[in-house]
């Protein structure tokens, strides 16, 4: 049995995200994520005008009359949530930590998926693959996914996006719509991401806090890298230092966006100090225009 306070938090997430799914995103998900392929349904007798390439020659030989194959759109999708739970997610200078807003956004995507009878799977990773939840349908399954997102305690602290992508490619044989949720404070993942994007529909969800982008003037502060344990003392009154820090992070974000574009990977950028609904809506509407 789960502790009562955990159940209450999961319930609050469910209520809040369901409201978003049923009002703000109603219809958006279904219009963007359609079945990507065709599957065989049945055969019927050939009529003039049918495509010759659709003739089923085995059935035709048995029946003595030409028969053609009929296909239907493969509607059921698999949504994979590939979520970075490294130590850098336990940071937030506003009302939510990065890992909390990531969990809530993933809940919105998961509830949107089950509303459309799609399957949802989850991979949690740090510098290793921490947890794999096989794709399934249903509300009970999604609530389990949310619980794992909120309360799983990882063994690792670092970030290895490449290892997570390689694992996903091994366990996910069918094409999946995959949301890679991370702050992308890592390197060496470009080649695995490029490979994964050929097999799956990859969407990068970048989660950042404003203090990771700009440095405030608050005097002497001690900064600790939670993934490596390294600590440094910084004088934030130094205007040159602040400008350099801000410029470095702006350029890093711009370079990441360019890298993702060059690989054909769409990006959703969310921040802990801003609602995630608007970036999500922009993404859905951009996708809808593209597929018209």
pLDDT per residue as tens digits for the range 145-201:
999 998 899 999 999 999 999 999 999 988 899 999 999 989 999 999 999 999 999
All structural domains of the chain: 4-21+75-290 (3.40.50.410), 39-72 (no CATH)
pLDDT per residue as tens digits for the range 10-52:
777 777 788 788 777 767 777 777 655 555 667 889 888 888 8
Instruction: Give the global pTM.
Output: 0.79
Cβ atoms 165, 192 nearer than 8 A: yes
The CA distance from 218 to 205, in Å, is 30
- Helix ranges, the chain (H): 4-19, 28-32, 57-63, 98-115, 139-151, 161-171, 190-199, 239-262, 277-290
Under the banding of pLDDT at 50, 70 and 90, the label for residue 1 is very low
Residue 268 is predicted with a pLDDT of 96
DSSP 77-143: -EEEEEEE-SGGGS--SSSS-HHHHHHHHHHHHHHHHHHTT-EEEEEEESSSEEEEEEEE-SHHHHH
């Amino acid at each position: 049995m789960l502790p009562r306070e955990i159940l209450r938090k999961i319930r609050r997430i469910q209520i809040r995200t369901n409201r978003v799914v049923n009002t703000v995103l109603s219809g958006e998900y279904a219009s963007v994520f359609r079945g990507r392929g065709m599957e065989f349904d049945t055969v019927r007798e050939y009529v003039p005008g049918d495509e010759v390439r659709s003739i089923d020659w085995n059935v035709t030989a048995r029946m003595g009359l030409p028969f053609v194959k009929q296909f239907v759109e493969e509607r059921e999708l698999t949504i994979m949530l590939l979520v970075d739970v490294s130590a850098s997610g336990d940071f937030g200078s506003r009302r939510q930590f990065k890992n909390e807003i990531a969990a809530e956004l993933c809940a919105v995507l998961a509830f949107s998926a089950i509303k459309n009878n799609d399957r949802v799977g989850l991979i949690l990773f740090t510098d290793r693959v921490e947890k794999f939840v096989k794709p399934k349908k249903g509300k009970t399954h999604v609530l389990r996914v949310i619980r794992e997102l909120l309360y799983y305690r990882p063994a690792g602290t670092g970030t290895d996006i490449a290892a997570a992508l390689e694992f996903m490619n091994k366990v996910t044989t069918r094409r999946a719509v995959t949301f890679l949720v991370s702050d992308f404070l890592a390197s060496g993942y470009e080649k695995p991401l490029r490979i994964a994007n050929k097999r799956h529909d990859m969407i990068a969800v970048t989660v950042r806090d404003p203090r990771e982008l700009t440095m405030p003037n608050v005097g002497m502060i001690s900064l600790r890298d939670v993934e490596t344990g390294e600590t440094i003392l910084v004088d934030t009154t130094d205007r040159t230092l602040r400008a350099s820090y801000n410029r470095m992070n702006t350029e890093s974000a711009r370079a990441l966006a360019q890298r993702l574009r060059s690989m054909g990977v769409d990006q959703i950028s969310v921040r802990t100090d801003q609602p995630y609904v608007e970036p999500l809506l922009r993404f859905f509407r951009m996708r809808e225009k593209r597929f018209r």
